Amino acid sequence: MSEILRKQAPISIIFVTTIIVFVNFFEQGNLLFKSATDTLTNMAVIMTGFAFFLVAINLFITYGRVIAKKTKGEWIYAIYALSLFTIYAGLGFLPGYPIGQHPYFLLLYNQAQYHISRSMMAILAFSMVGAAIRAFRMRTFEASLLLLGAVFVWLNTAPIGAVINPNIPVIGQFFLDVPSTAGNRGLLMCVAIGTIAVGIRQMVGLERGHLGIVEG
Amino acid sequence: MVALPLVKPLGLPLEIVEPTMMFYNYIESLPAGSQVVVRAAALSNVENLPVQLAVLKHLFSKNFRIVFYPTSSAEEQVGLKTYYFPKILESPKYGAYFKNKVYGVDYLLLPYMPGGQQALQSFASDAFLLYSGVQDYLGVGLVSSFPIMQYFKSANDWKIWICAGGEPSTTNEMQIVQSRYGVPFLEMAYAMHWALHQTYLATGQIKGMTNGLRGGAEYERLIGEPTAAGLGGMDAISMTYLMIISLLVWGNVGFFAKKYKERKM
């Protein structure tokens, strides 16, 4: 493939589309940039739709290989995953109802997936408590501060905090309003500056990894 | 210890915090006929069920035009159809309001569109272009054919965006809905995002926010329809935190006792 098609063309497309979307963000009244941006975003929506099909195909290819090779400890789960995928997707397309509206499809969601997801969340609570207990050991001064902050914020959230002492929610709110907000803002600013930097690098073609161009 | 209050609520006093009041008052201040966009959460997000139900009851008791926009497949719409709407119908105080609402005129369930932020950007810029030739979630008809959609052509028409928390959805939505189009934003935050999103509340980017299950219990009181889930749930949370704090104290006592023993040896 020529150098132009492999490198210059994708970089030029990225540059032009970025400029169009960028100008539209700040120049809201410009109809030319608005319609160009609308077309581009709708193209992205359509491409994402196709990506879902690709994921489904990829799932069958990957798990199909595992089943064909009878990979030890994996093939049975691959059959299980593919069967569930086929049943769930199939029920969504059953005739007589709009897509995803068949009572069997909704039944499977409400009676299986819903409860499984809730159970997963409940199980997560135990591991979170375990992790919290390990993290909140007062090994250092910083860890002690973390523990202190956490206790006040918890008691601020739960009504029992105000029952124990009316000042507890006030202190808890202080932790949220001042140290927590300040820390979050600092973090968000860092992320924003980093994102801008990466965006500019991609726009001008300095960052090419996402195009599959690796230069070393 | 944790489950006991679910059976017999302790009735601990619950103060309604300012962000919840701001949330409630903002909805109260909206004039009749306002366009409201709601992004609900999937049913599996148990923590936010009471607040979502209470907020929906509040919204349906007003003469608003409400459009439900899903961001993750159509899980949110499944929940609305099979759980929230029947629950609202059962409500002695709010059921009658919902009964009088006409699908497609007063409220609409939009279908899922893939693309995340791009789909939302497209919805905000030109809803008719995004949903051109697409049916609503229930498959009743084309999105563009419903009378309500005449009031939701673009984000410039929206009076409020209400989201049911979760990350990165909330931040993504805020970047487009609030930052780009200046649409007022309300959030039913999860408790774990409550601290994180205080930043947006302080800057006024979020006009009101509720805090997980606590927010649900507070909102239920505000609309005058407390349920066992909200009230007993809050007592259970109090007990959970007390239990965690006791475990932390126990763990730290053990940690220092071990350290002391080692030093002595």
ipTM of this complex > 0.90?
A: no
pLDDT in tens, B156-168: 999 999 999 888 8
* Residue-level pLDDT at A62: 95
* Residue-level pLDDT at A114: 78
pLDDT in tens, A95-118: 888 887 888 888 887 788 778 877
The average pLDDT across B113-124 equals 88
Confirm or reject contact between B180 and chain A (CB < 8 A).
Answer: yes
Query: Would the CB atoms of B199 and A181 count as touching at under 8 Å?
Result: yes
Query: Would the CB atoms of A180 and B125 count as touching at under 8 Å?
Result: no
As a whole-number percent, the residues of chain A with pLDDT over 90 amount to 25
Residue B253, judged by CB atoms within 10 A of its CB (0-12, 13-18, 19+), counts as exposed
**Nearby residues of B198 by Cβ (< 8 Å), 6 or more positions away:** A176, A177, A180, A181, A184
Decide if pLDDT at B44 tops 70.
no
Rounded to the nearest angstrom, the gap between the alpha carbon of residue B240 and the centroid of all alpha carbons in its chain is 23
* In contact, A60 and A82? CB cutoff 8 Å: yes
Decide if pLDDT at A212 tops 80.
no
Residue A173, judged by CB atoms within 10 A of its CB (0-12, 13-18, 19+), counts as middle
Confirm or reject contact between A204 and chain B (CB < 8 A).
Answer: no
**B162/B68 Cα distance (integer angstroms):** 10
Confirm or reject contact between B156 and chain A (CB < 8 A).
Answer: no
Decide if pLDDT at A216 tops 60.
no
Q: What is the mean pLDDT of chain B?
A: 89
pLDDT in tens, B203-246: 999 999 999 888 999 999 999 988 766 667 888 888 888 888 88
> Of A136, A157, A168, which to mutate for an interface test with B (greatest number of B Cβ within 10 Å)?
A157
* Residue-level pLDDT at A215: 64
Report how far apart, in Å, the C-alpha atoms of B6 and of each of A120, A205, B228, B262 are. Answer: 20, 58, 8, 44
The average pLDDT across A122-146 equals 82
Question: Distance (Å) from the C-alpha of residue B122 to the closest C-alpha of chain A?
Answer: 6
* Residue-level pLDDT at B230: 67
Q: What backbone torsions phi and psi does residue B109 show, to the nearest 5 degrees? A: -100, 110
pLDDT in tens, B78-88: 889 888 999 99
Decide if pLDDT at B9 tops 90.
no
* Residue-level pLDDT at A119: 84
* Residue-level pLDDT at B206: 94
Question: Distance (Å) from the C-alpha of residue B234 to the closest C-alpha of chain A?
Answer: 7
* Residue-level pLDDT at B229: 63
pLDDT in tens, A36-95: 998 998 898 889 889 988 999 999 999 999 999 998 889 999 999 999 999 988 998 888
* Residue-level pLDDT at B178: 92
Query: Would the CB atoms of A34 and B119 count as touching at under 8 Å?
Result: no
